[in-house]
Structure 1
């Protein structure tokens, strides 16, 4: 979707449909705007680009159910949530938590590229990490991402843009794995009101639970996520991670990746004429094709393409 307009009310209506009800005031006596609104990507990971080309102040009310991660592409801005204010500029991403009184001020050059995550899903990820239900809603610290998180976040958004191809977007298990990755990334790497609890989860899952987790990973196929495995075993993600490190010298994510790589190899070894490396990667929960190829080669000593060609008798 793309909207270009100089009509403020039209811009407000369009942004309301994407985000939440809000009011916009043009500052410095400037009457006109040159607003551009674009949205792309799957509905669960929709990337939105927005600029007004005018200094504006936005009253977003209580930011109803909107968990938003706003990256400043150009210019600078100020955000106020729950009585706390922060400024951020080009190349920085700011997490905005839902259901808090929120005001935003953009300068004339400000342009944002934002992604909205499902707040209930991210809270469920946090709940699985600490191994219990959340007492109060998850609230991220109103502060820009660290440099390391910013770099990882930028790569994640680029991956979404690269996978806008219709064929790839229809691989639900790949997006499911990726969605959990995004949730775990922000919950583990950015401060929030459960960070202290998360740091103090230190008991390792028993070896028996590690074996049961591996069984679930094999029988659940590529669609099951590590978070769902932890939930089924009634153990926190952090405890499961510690258990895998002690018993297997790897994380549950690495163990699950090996199982999915084995499933991919099996599919390539038993390929048909319609089999492609892309279709196998997506079906086995690998949305990033270059990384899939790297993991595969590191594990099996040949690339997925080499396996496929060999099993087809050298056909291209």
Structure 2
């Protein structure tokens, strides 16, 4: 089924087209996060992705041209919202199977996993939301959701606004290249997205975290060098995964996996600053739980504004 969303302007921001599945996976990963793609059939058609940034939002479409399963171990540091402008997807998330189409969207918070089985004619419309664009309460509202109907008043308005942006060349180009206009469009879309739950009386976050959050943090701090899964953290904290994720969003403004990555980076920086040049950065990365040196270096630079080698060259602080 074809959605009523018209995306003529967005389609002029074509990021790539490819008939090679490995290339498709690599190119999507540059914009989103590492993932696996498993064709459900004997053929793979031509894939494409359209993508544009508006303020701290990223809006795009993805189509594989064939039935395919997408597995994501953890959404990488942003909130992801996905619906279908054609076809449908069966999304497995938070222990539920959600049928996603042009009337129902799925939402995943930073660090959360999901799996999606896409129909052959499926074209996804995705929005990646930088947590910095959200207030504490907005992050709590969005992070508490797994799926949302697009038929309600605020979400119907959100869909109409998104349709306007994606179908107007002038508006999309101005919003993408003018920071002031982009900030206004970002604010409108985020406000409408959060407005769907505005009547539920969600209270502001407390600065005092419950015991299960602190137990999770203690477990993570004691296992920085060990590969651990979200389910293991939840088990150590004594709560279900969903409760753990909601607690971290409410009291720590991030996901457990994102905080674990920050803790590992902080520990690596401390070791680099205190160690001699005889201890290789690659060894430090491995000892702090990073199996992929390239991703460690990129994450380190994103967090501290410099590469590990630059920290080492500057030597110990006075």
TM-score bucket (shorter structure): 0.5 to 0.7
Structure 1 residues 92 and 100 mapped into 2: Cα distance closer, same or farther (>3 Å)?
A: same
3-state SS in 1 of match to 2:82: strand
Please state how far the C-alpha of 1:195 moved relative to its aligned partner. Answer: 4.3
Q: How many corresponding residue pairs?
A: 188
Give 1:165's aligned residue.
173
Structure 1 residues 69 and 190 mapped into 2: Cα distance closer, same or farther (>3 Å)?
A: farther
Please state how far the C-alpha of 1:154 moved relative to its aligned partner. Answer: 2.3
**Separation in 2 of the partners of 1:113 and 1:78?**
15
- 5 Å-filtered alignment, 1:187-206, equals 187-190=194-197, 195-198=200-203
- 5 Å-filtered alignment, 1:65-80, equals 65-80=77-92
Q: Highest CA radius of gyration, 1 or 2?
A: 1
The alignment's TM-score, normalised by the length of structure 2, stands at: 0.52
Give 2:186's aligned residue.
179
Higher RCO (Cα < 8 Å, 6 or more apart): 2
**Separation in 1 of the partners of 2:100 and 2:160?**
20
Check the 8 A contact 1:40/1:47 in 2, yes or no: yes
Give 1:154's aligned residue.
159
Deviating above 4 A after TM superposition, structure 1's stretches of 4 or more consecutive aligned residues are none
Q: Check if 1:7 corresponds to 2:14.
A: no
Please state how far the C-alpha of 1:50 moved relative to its aligned partner. Answer: 0.9
3-state SS in 2 of match to 1:99: coil
Please state how far the C-alpha of 1:3 moved relative to its aligned partner. Answer: 1.4
The alignment's TM-score, normalised by the length of structure 1, stands at: 0.52
Please state how far the C-alpha of 1:125 moved relative to its aligned partner. Answer: 5.3
RMSD of aligned Cα (Å): 2.9
The runs of 5 or more residues in structure 2 that have no matched partner are 1-13, 205-318
The runs of 5 or more residues in structure 1 that have no matched partner are 128-133, 200-316
Structure 1 residues 51 and 23 mapped into 2: Cα distance closer, same or farther (>3 Å)?
A: same
**Separation in 1 of the partners of 2:183 and 2:29?**
27
Check the 8 A contact 1:53/1:108 in 2, yes or no: yes
**Separation in 2 of the partners of 1:86 and 1:165?**
34
For residue 129 of structure 2, the aligned residue among 89, 113, 117 is 117
Give 1:18's aligned residue.
31
**Separation in 2 of the partners of 1:60 and 1:123?**
26
**Separation in 2 of the partners of 1:107 and 1:17?**
24
Check the 8 A contact 2:85/2:102 in 1, yes or no: yes
Give 2:52's aligned residue.
40
Give 2:112's aligned residue.
100
